[in-house]
Amino acid sequence: MRAGAAGIRAAIVDLDGTMLDTVPDFEAALNGMRADLGLGPITQDVIKPLVGKGSEKLVRDALLLDWDAARVDAVFDEALAGYQRHYLAVNGERATLYPGVIEGLQAMRDAGLRLVCVTNKPVAFAEPLLEQKGLAPYFERVFGGDSFAKKKPDPMPLLGACAALDLAPSHVVAIGDSSNDAEAARAAGCFVLTVPYGYNHGRPVQEIKSDGIVGSLLEAAVLISAHNDTAK
């Protein structure tokens, strides 16, 4: 992480691809929606590169695999409603925690860091998912893709989270798996750490300009503590 910079007092943590592998849930919901529209199923390998820019884009991209833009536009409202219905029915059932998530969040809390979750997933999906997986108690606030006028990679959600924490962005690190997280963090003025096991729209995490690649949230906690020790 950048030498000589301010001490970190809070972390903004992404959800899909960072704390939880949710592609199996997306598979069930998208294929339920596609079946309602007379389309065949798609695989997790097809879905994974589509994840990360919010439900609306995910649904649209999943339909553009078969139909042209005009046809997608014509059925989009119906498709999105169907997807949301199917997703709420399966939310969290197939999703799994990545290694080191609980341990990392606990280590950050033990080090005195405040935690906020910022995801492009709608709040109505994110909050029950965090609760179900035992992650909700670690976070002061949860902001979803519908919490602000714009989603990541726009900096607005991160700036909003920093405002909620009453902290300058220079005292906050964002942790995520994709260029969305890094671009938003950079534009907001936050530090950013990336994990290599998530989705990142099918691109190598090494292509992302970040302050470091960490193998787990526990490794992130160790790196943040080391940075703070140096910043003192």
- Find the Cα–Cα–Cα–Cα dihedral 176, 128, 83, 119, rounded to 10°: -20
CA–CA separation, 186 and 172 (whole Å): 11
Element (DSSP H or E) covering residue 193: strand 191-194
What are the E-state strand segments in 10-152?
Answer: 10-13, 20-21, 96-97, 114-118, 141-143
* Residue of 14, 25, 181, 211 with catalytic role: 14
CA–CA separation, 224 and 173 (whole Å): 9
Classify residue 207 by its DSSP letter. G
Task: Map residue 147 onto helix, strand or coil.
Answer: coil
Distance of CA 139 to the CA centre of its chain: 14
- The answer to the question of whether 177 is labelled as a binding residue is yes
- Whether 14 is a known active-site residue: answer yes
Structure tokens, 132: 């179900």
Nearest partner of 199 among 88, 116, 119, judged by Cα: 119
Structure tokens, 201: 């729209």
Q: Are 10 and 167 in contact (CB under 8 A)?
A: yes
Structure tokens, 18: 């960072």
- The answer to the question of whether 16 is labelled as a binding residue is yes
Task: Map residue 114 onto helix, strand or coil.
Answer: strand
Binding residues: 14, 16, 177
Binding residues for Mg(2+): 14, 16, 177
Active-site residue set? 14
